[in-house]
Amino acid sequence: MGDHRREFPEQEQKVTSHHGDRRTFLQQAASVGLAVGTGDWCRALAAPIPSTKIRGSVVSGKKPLAGVRVSDGLRVVHTDASGDFRIRVGPDSGPFLFVTTPSGHWTDSFYVATSAAARQRPVFRLKPRAADPSHRLVYMTDVHLSEGNSSESVKRMKRTIDEINGLDPLPDACWVGGDISLDHREGPRYVELVSRLKMPVRHSVGNHEFQLKTGDPLGRFRQLFGPTYYSWDIGGLHCITLDGCHLDTTGGKPGRVIGQFGRRELQWLAADLAAVPRGMTTVVAVHIPLASNYPPRRGTTAEKSPQWIITNAGQAIDQLKAHGVKLVLQGHLHENQRMMQSGIEFVESVSVCGTWWAAKSGEREDATSGEPRGYRLVDWSGERLIHHYRGSAESRVDAAGEIVGRPGKLPANKAADLLVNIFDGTDTTRVRAQIDSRPPVTLKPSSRGRHFGDLQAAHHWSWTIPSSDLSTGKHQATIRIEEPGRPRQEFTHRFTS
């Protein structure tokens, strides 16, 4: 372990959040938190938090920052004109004291252990960054590094990261939606990969971050990435990362991870939302979904499947609705599935690993509803917030969908019963299809699609082509897609009969 000042140079006379550049910080965290696994940092997180008042400050260079929100995971306070804050903490506080990084500033280390801050005055050192009114985020979830085809998972993740680095415009931040796969001890390798990104990164915790056979199942996540719930601002966006993962031990040790909010997290959410500056647009990210139709598509109910959906989500949804939140990004279920509830769009976003890196070299990696693996881009400009799915690297398909099976030949003069997969379609998506120059027909949603066991695939439409449309020869199918608030799209498929 060695001297704690060598391991954590920021903790000398004051507890400060400045760690230098992100790549160095992440690699240092990996080597200390994962390779060593003990030391002052671990003891600080495990230490009891006394009932006291913490005094600290937030600065940018030598300039104090006023109005910055600071939280102990329960309460939220603001810095004064001198950049100073005072916050009362105690046994009910969370393990971290953290700042909501304000627009126009950033820090990769936005947190300190609450117990350490109770002993030494914390100083959060932020760096200025461009305050462009338009912003792009990339939401990437369910990495599952080294699962399935392990060597392919690393190669393909490198390609995805290179692809994200080449996007134009370059995203302002990458929001990772959980399931890095720390339970497979892939922290150091993941850190090395994600440190290649050219933009800042924020992390959500997933169920696969729990190391269930250890005394501190979330210890390694916290050592690497800090709090499991927090918020940050970028431009006019307020971004909330929620936890919602709960270790259920009622069935005996080591237990299982289910979707459930703790009381402290819900109280913090209320305080955070109440402190959002007027005029900001709020976006939420959480690993296990708040709302989804996945359980019934697996032949069960949300009540019977707490591993797939957060059981007390209603308490959070009521708060989000009351504060006008319009978008919640979700992971966990490895598919695209969008739905409206309480005036909020809940978006399950495709896994970057598809179906746990099952594909072999040269094969396309698909997710559980048949869409290629990928990520989601979120663009905000003024009051307009839009998002879209993008397939990635070797699995990318430029079209918005495909005919399932991609048939090259259909029997001549015989009716064909096809399925059309619109990769990011929803119940407001209108799909029309035609053969050659024949009149188009409107397709109906279908529940027949199966790509992953008995899961009823999302976003599939049924298309029955009459025998009269399939004469002998070459044909072109054209599929047109319309959805309110989105540009029209179409793609074609050529085949013979």
Q: Concatenate the DSSP letters of all residues of 202-222 into one string.
A: EE---GGG--TTSSSTTHHHH
pLDDT of residue 6: 27
pLDDT of residue 340: 96
User: What is the rounded (10 degree) CA torsion for 169, 175, 178, 181?
Assistant: 60
Average pLDDT over residues 176-192: 84
Q: Which two structure tokens, joined as six digits, stand for 496?
A: 């013979």
DSSP letter assigned to residue 366? B
pLDDT of residue 23: 52
Looking at per-residue confidence, does 411 or 214 come out higher?
411
HSE-up of 58 (CA within 13 Å, CB side)?
Answer: 31
Looking at per-residue confidence, does 132 or 96 come out higher?
96
- Does residue 186 register a pLDDT over 70? yes
Question: Please, are residues 280 and 239 in contact by the beta-carbon 8 Å criterion?
Answer: no
Q: Of the given ranges (206-220, 270-284, 444-458), which has the lowest mean pLDDT?
A: 206-220
**Residue 283 to residue 95: CA distance in whole angstroms:** 24
In DSSP terms, 258 is beta-bridged to 246
pLDDT of residue 15: 57
Q: Which two structure tokens, joined as six digits, stand for 151?
A: 């060597």
Q: Which two structure tokens, joined as six digits, stand for 365?
A: 């990696």
CA-based end-to-end distance of the chain: 70
C-alpha 50, offset from chain centre: 34
**Residue 366 to residue 350: CA distance in whole angstroms:** 9
Average pLDDT over residues 209-219: 85
Question: Please, are residues 365 and 156 in contact by the beta-carbon 8 Å criterion?
Answer: yes
Q: Which two structure tokens, joined as six digits, stand for 58?
A: 């937030």
pLDDT of residue 300: 93
Question: Please, are residues 309 and 292 in contact by the beta-carbon 8 Å criterion?
Answer: yes
Question: Please, are residues 247 and 210 in contact by the beta-carbon 8 Å criterion?
Answer: yes
Q: Nearest-CA neighbor of 447 among 456, 455, 438?
A: 456
Q: Of the given ranges (4-18, 123-137, 407-421, 481-495), which has the lowest mean pLDDT?
A: 4-18
How many other CB atoms are found less than 10 A from the CB of residue 21?
10
Class at the top of the CATH hierarchy for domain 401-496: mainly beta
**Residue 154 to residue 150: CA distance in whole angstroms:** 7
- Does residue 29 register a pLDDT over 90? no
**Residue 97 to residue 102: CA distance in whole angstroms:** 16
**Residue 229 to residue 111: CA distance in whole angstroms:** 11
Question: Please, are residues 288 and 315 in contact by the beta-carbon 8 Å criterion?
Answer: no
**Residue 138 to residue 346: CA distance in whole angstroms:** 16
C-alpha 306, offset from chain centre: 19
- Does residue 1 register a pLDDT over 50? no
- Does residue 286 register a pLDDT over 70? yes
**Residue 342 to residue 187: CA distance in whole angstroms:** 37
pLDDT tens digits along 113-122: 999 999 999 9
CATH of region 4-128:
2.60.40.1120
Q: Where are the beta strands (DSSP E) in 292-394?
A: 327-330, 337-341, 344-348, 374-381, 384-391
pLDDT tens digits along 442-476: 999 999 999 999 999 999 999 999 999 999 999 99
- Does residue 30 register a pLDDT over 70? no
pLDDT tens digits along 310-325: 999 999 999 999 999 9
**Residue 183 to residue 197: CA distance in whole angstroms:** 23
| Burial (CB count <10 Å: 0-12, 13-18, 19+), residue 90 | middle
- Does residue 243 register a pLDDT over 80? yes
- Does residue 494 register a pLDDT over 50? yes
DSSP letter assigned to residue 374? E
pLDDT of residue 31: 38
Prior bond of 169 cis (ω within 30°): yes
In DSSP terms, 173 is beta-bridged to 137
Looking at per-residue confidence, does 39 or 312 come out higher?
312
- Residue 348 — φ and ψ, nearest 5°? -75, 125
pLDDT of residue 14: 56
pLDDT of residue 149: 87
pLDDT tens digits along 425-447: 999 999 999 999 999 999 999 99
- Does residue 38 register a pLDDT over 70? no
**Residue 138 to residue 164: CA distance in whole angstroms:** 8
Give me the CATH topology for the region 134-395.
Answer: Purple Acid Phosphatase; chain A, domain 2 (3.60.21)
Percent of the chain clearing pLDDT 70 (strictly above) = 91
For the chain, how many residues are written? 497
Percent of the chain clearing pLDDT 90 (strictly above) = 78
Q: Which two structure tokens, joined as six digits, stand for 389?
A: 């799915």
CA angle 393-397-400, nearest 5°? 135
**Residue 343 to residue 461: CA distance in whole angstroms:** 25
Residue ranges, CATH 2.60.40.1120, the chain: 4-128
Mode of pairing for the β-strands spanning 69-71 and 96-99: antiparallel
Looking at per-residue confidence, does 401 or 383 come out higher?
401
Q: Where are the beta strands (DSSP E) in 171-259?
A: 173-176, 201-203, 230-234, 237-241, 245-248, 256-259
pLDDT band for 16, please (50, 70, 90 cuts). low
Residue type, position 141, single letter: T
pLDDT of residue 148: 87
Residue ranges, CATH 2.60.40.10, the chain: 401-496
Give the relative orientation of helices 22-29 and 187-194 as an angle to the nearest 10 degrees.
Answer: 180
Residue ranges, CATH 3.60.21.10, the chain: 134-395
pLDDT of residue 37: 39
**Residue 245 to residue 362: CA distance in whole angstroms:** 35
Average pLDDT over residues 203-207: 95
- Does residue 13 register a pLDDT over 50? no
Average pLDDT over residues 83-110: 96
Question: Please, are residues 105 and 126 in contact by the beta-carbon 8 Å criterion?
Answer: yes
Q: Of the given ranges (175-179, 208-212, 283-287, 421-425), which has the lowest mean pLDDT?
A: 208-212
- Does residue 11 register a pLDDT over 50? no
pLDDT band for 302, please (50, 70, 90 cuts). confident
pLDDT of residue 109: 85
- Mean pLDDT over all residues of the chain? 90
Question: Please, are residues 379 and 361 in contact by the beta-carbon 8 Å criterion?
Answer: no
